[in-house]
Structure 1
Amino acid sequence: MIRIEETTENNFLIEISPNYSLRGWSRVIFLSSLAFICLAIGVFFLFMGAALILPFAGLELIIVLICFYISFRWSQQKEIIYISNEKVKLEKGRLIKEKSWEEFRSFVVFEVETDHYNSNQFCFQSKGQRFYFGSFLNEEDKLILKNELKRIIIQLNALSPGM
């Protein structure tokens, strides 16, 4: 998911996060219904005399909940790009900022690389270092991000220095 905002004149904020379908209470409702069905089946088989089904139903439920937790935690990733006429700033993190990079825009080059899977990878290059971002986006979102970044860079390059 990409959200682009022009905060002030010629200052852009681009927020990048993975697509996810379950948010907030819908996660709780989905996981609760899954747990209810799994445990109901286990209790049914317990009453039918198959007592070993219930522990395995509980084990299955624990494994599914762990997998969903990992997936939900992954979907909390967020990358924020600030672009102004003077600076480029990239922040990465989940709920809080974990990594931050900032450089003068005149020293930064935006590059689009193609990996061996024919997928685009985005990076800012400055002073021999590469700072990758947007790796979790699908190809459609990567194309949108690429076009929007090009548009923003062209718009900022058209300005006279110091504006």
Structure 2
Amino acid sequence: MVEQLPADTGTRLLLTPNRSLSWHGNVRVWLALVALSMIVVSGMSLAGAWLVLPFAGLELAALAAALYVTARHCQQKEVLTLSADTIRLEKGIDRKDSEWEWPRQTARIDIHTPRHPWTTPKLSLRHHTRDVSLAPFLNHEDVTILIGILEEQGVQLQKRAPPTMAWF
């Protein structure tokens, strides 16, 4: 998701992955599956198949871990600030974990065009030999919106074709 934030000077963009459910929604889905599983498991254990209980618990624990990891991954954020003389990229989940700030004249955005038209192009912020990936979680529509905003702001964009490979 690409969202413009208010900024004193220049443009500030908040880049986040699309989320279908909030954390509370994920917890509700998990609790519904726990309730359904307990109904089935209690019926089976009353029928004499009590060994199903620990495996149902392991399955629910694995599902909870997977939901947590996925929800945590969907909380990552990137803030791209474009001022008159600098480009700043900040990355993090709950707080800012890393930050890059480069002069606008020598920094550029590389657009790595994919081999297949259905694949999302990858973006990277480049300054001399340093290359930082830019919002790898964005979908095709969001990348198109971001490229349009960057073009409006006059940021240097460079398209890079995929490397040619011989298949034999």
Task: Please say whether Structure 1 and Structure 2 have the same fold, judged by a TM-score greater than 0.5.
Answer: yes
- Pick the TM interval, shorter chain: 0.7 to 0.9
Identity %: 27
What stretches of structure 1 of length at least 5 have no aligned partner?
Answer: 155-163
Structure 2 equivalent of residue 93 of structure 1: 92
What stretches of structure 2 of length at least 5 have no aligned partner?
Answer: 156-168
For the aligned residue pairs, the C-alpha RMSD in angstroms reads: 1.6
Q: Distance in 2 between matches of 1:28 and 1:77?
A: 19
Q: Distance in 2 between matches of 1:124 and 1:65?
A: 35
In the TM superposition, what are the counterparts of 1:9-158 in structure 2 within 5 Å? 10-116=9-115, 118-153=119-154
Q: Distance in 1 between matches of 2:91 and 2:5?
A: 18
State the TM-score, normalized to the length of structure 2: 0.84
CA contact (8 A) 2:12 2:80 kept: yes
Which range is displaced more, 118-127 or 85-94?
A: 118-127
Q: Distance in 1 between matches of 2:6 and 2:97?
A: 24
Structure (1/2) with the larger helix percentage: 1
CA contact (8 A) 2:23 2:71 kept: no
Which range is displaced more, 63-72 or 145-154?
A: 145-154
**Displacement, 1:6?**
4.3
**Displacement, 1:115?**
3.9
Deviation above 2 Å: which 4+ runs of structure 1?
115-119
Q: Distance in 2 between matches of 1:124 and 1:60?
A: 41
Q: 2:2 is aligned with what amino acid?
A: I
Structure 1 equivalent of residue 5 of structure 2: 5
Distance verdict in 2 for CA 1:32–1:99, change over 3 Å: same
* 3-state SS of paired residue (1:136): coil
State the TM-score, normalized to the length of structure 1: 0.86
CA contact (8 A) 1:39 1:58 kept: no
**Displacement, 1:85?**
0.5
Q: Distance in 1 between matches of 2:135 and 2:115?
A: 17
Q: 2:72 is aligned with what amino acid?
A: R
Deviations 1:79-131 (A, max 9, x none): 11011101110011111111110011112112211244553111222122112
Q: Figure out how many residues of one structure are paired with residues of the other and give that number.
A: 153
Q: Distance in 2 between matches of 1:53 and 1:98?
A: 43
Q: Distance in 2 between matches of 1:6 and 1:151?
A: 17
Q: 1:5 is aligned with what amino acid?
A: L
